[in-house]
Structure 1
């Protein structure tokens, strides 16, 4: 066997063993891999294969994978490293038919395809499917025709919730019907939601397997997704569905929705809550970050475990190397997004804007459309904010353009100039812009003015007449804390005796139970309820001050005010923020006094206010109804010169004596480190495991809180002086470790710390999944050269500098990566690989 064929065979053997296939009988069962010398084809079968049969004269199958009864299950067709695996496609098809196999794997050791002969084309995979996964997938018998012809009416979800609802007396009586629907929480599809599901049926009829829904915030993407899930599960075109979100709070929100809407027919679970029993559920909900970290998706799942993968907020949850999770699984793919590509239609991509956040957003959106087979820019189904407003399902904002003297200067081309002095006492001048607010530029007076303007002009609750429920978006967690203090001080003056520092609440990732706060705010019991009117249930806390937790997917329809007390530069972020207020709401649903209800009459939400203190709307050139521009109250004291950021508190120690060098010696320490280092790590491990607070945070995947807790409560204490640098050295790994990795290892969420080369292999596989299939097919014979370039560029800063500055002649004398290596890389990949690495690969982990 040639050297390249031998290399491919070695890699294939390892991949098979990692997936649970066995060359020899062991404690897990009998051998289930048959090598080519043991599987001979008949002469008739060989003749049928014809001239394309590329093997020795007798004809052998490379690998045949067997089921537990010893019958053929999968044909693995192997090619040398320098050959495209797809050249063996038709050959493998004939092999598979001769062995009565439904499944085929095509591989050259570096690039692999999984092919279900009953389901379209081969799919790129990065890990071989396990025996159990193939066994389960074999039971899966898709029937596209059943999906295409399934009747999906307005009551498609309601029929699962209550199959006999139409025969109930409460439904038949027109006057009682609204109360009957509310009591039983029946959900009916709106016309556009039905059209979205029908669009998928049409797409499947045309042979498509990828779909994209572009639906504005507030149009019910989760309900539409539930209808799609039912369609695939009910018709047998999926046996299990993976629903990916990009935020923990959305994970819980989506799972509760699926339980409420589909529990009578299907089981929905959150993966982290059912780690050992997720296979018993038809719907598995998880965050993409949870699966991506340390490649959990590859370690714990097989590519055939899910037949339909849905990505919520698709251009966020599959952005960058997170797409590797999405692409890892074979089968149907659906993306949901509230961010229209048209939003960037006025952006001139021809200008040099590589650092412009709008250019980044444009690339993310284009990648999203490409991923779902919508290169033309036309999604499978579209329902915009304007569509929702026109159909009277959504509300456009009343934009309150509110700029102070200081923010006006910050927004100007010249910026805000401040006279100062340098460290030597010489006069100097510093200029600040809007991006510097609350990062480099601090103004207490401006924050005070923001809050005063907001409270004076915000909408009031139409029932209780207290300040309407609101969300304020701050620059940072520290800024949020400042704003909460100011708002609570002002509320104490405006509403004396009504609040006890609970008018405004900070809801950010470092606040304990912040996720529960968001839920309580929706349910109108954040820090209590019914503060003004006993019979009216509404949250006592009126304002949530956040940074990013409540931007995407947060559903609280009775929001009346939104305030941007920070600049926003990412279009999708702006779309999501203003989307928090677009939902309609009937305020009478929370009023439990029938007499008062009749007196008050109809009280629907007809508007909400968006306070824009940084001309964000103008920045994005959005055509909103700018019908309310306020004259701001003058601050009592002008603060022409903003205060610098307060210095960080430090512990000071002044040594008064002298010192001298007494001993100088050197000793080389091996990769295992010193014993004291290993004992040091074990001591930290025992300390962490014994901490109940940390255990709870890790169990709930509250990683920001866990990292903050370790840093503040366990690091640099007199008892042990633990810190991250010491732990990294003690671990004895040839790269940088993150604190999250260390915690995952301690709590058994990862088996070991991967070395540098293992991480590079993982990153390269993610890169392959991110590339268009046709581009990979075209250069499949150059995969080895691509991998060498990818690894070298990722780990060698000198090579990155040479490539970025186009000093290619230096490669002639570069020992690590030569000109010959560079020429072996196809031209179109010489830019594609550096761009991907710069955008998506965290280089600091390889230091």
Structure 2
């Protein structure tokens, strides 16, 4: 049979699939086709976002021992390719899925890449009839993993059926199970916020529990909301075998125990509920968000872990290390698997973001007038106050108003019902910010007083609204002001704006806060989010400890010198993560005894925005500091060495949109450049002006020049009307639209006739396309 005319799909259905089935692979449970591994990176252009379909990773075949335990990748090509042409793609997917076997085929045979070197050969060619069976690959796989026959049933234990796991979740679960089977007593998984750590923990616990490798399990978290969400959501399948520890006495008849770690520890020996269990009661202890303090030798977490030292300890965190002195790696060892924020954004599972950094005049340095007194009549100490003092030793109430005004302006320009979290310095600051936002949004706050809510540890009414805030089907609350309560454990998928007016020095806390916006919810139009930063917290993106540097920063002028913030006071500010309970820090002020700090509250000092810088997510995830124009000039220079080179490429292109798309892939933001220029310039003029110093013309000016040259004289009747309409369309919307075939279905062209009739007016499709190219040449003459 001549295979050359056959499509890739034909090769798969007629040759590859039959070969796999003949080798013993079950079509329903072991052989899956067209497996989507990634969703495709979300690309933000101005205020629009879409997925880049070119970045979607889709494997032709994934071969499984059973659902959840992948063994091999098979990539198919049509018969006009060689048998080897798909192997590199297969190896890329095999690395993603953490499997040792990769195959490629064109229907004539297979190339088999065998990382296990079972027969001492890394890569070989085999016939269609020689494809290995599931049993053969499994034997090689477990030997490669170092999994002995006595623990093989544990590793091969079924996943809980239901929601399919993403590839990195499978990797994390399987790596953790493998570590348990090898007797590793301390295991660390590092997964970015929003990537499903709790779901991953559930599958690990489920498989170990079902295999009886862990008969009794303790799941610890540090926020009550985390425990409750876990119990009612991901852990629900455990049903009657599960309980939450809430009382001072415990029922030891359960097998799965969930607990707030504060609920099982206390200052007195008699309050340590965990001691009601024998030391060997639990086989597995899972510590969620373990960066918070389990690493510290004197923490309450470590008391529990030391007590249940015979159990396997599994730590879950978004950040492996909190400080130079105290590290989770010190306790747990190196992570068995890591999935970073950068990778999550690259794969399209996490939302990208842009950052608006706002400088306030008083934050850059303010000195009181001689003898100035604050609201309580205290004489304000005469010194320079800067950003690190704001809402700590100095409260300028009109600063709250300035920030509320800027937040409101942003929402008015985008979406006033966009879920927004405002992170404040402490509870008192969160209360003041709520009031300032209520006043700034009095129209909506009058209609519904829950438009803005303070959600902090001490505020019962606010905490009762937390579920409504994170529920995408509930409109209110829209804006939540908080301090630390919402730093973790708040799965607000539709959060579109994260506001930072809080001093953040902890990389872990910064990542957790950023994680409030990284979830994607396509059903509700949440594909990306904005960070509005008033405290220069986003400078942490430039820290090597941040795992992605996933924003491109454009700064028109060098920043003011960064003034390091003073040390946080109390356990909540401990950068080692010494969080005690879920309440926010107590307010610091003159009426707060024992704080050791005087705080001045001043009402009459005006505060203004003096500078803003917008930061964008770039295609390579590198943090750069050029202005938008400089960045554009550099990127264009990489593609075109001169103006002549650009003009030749532009004029030679049948579709100008192809050049525009190519430059956009390099990170050129034409919408933002046009907005900055303040004129309706199309990409051609933006490139010529910014990269090569040419005087730009607006789209309207270019269209008028075409009309002055009497370009339409050679056309008559319907053809002339079509070209005039297209020229007006260019002036309004740009070159991209007139090149699209569907433009003939849009107003006002749809009023002239059907697309077939309009094309026929030029004598046919070829003549119509020639007229469009001639129109473009005249536009850019």
TM-score (norm 2): 0.48
TM-score (norm 1): 0.44
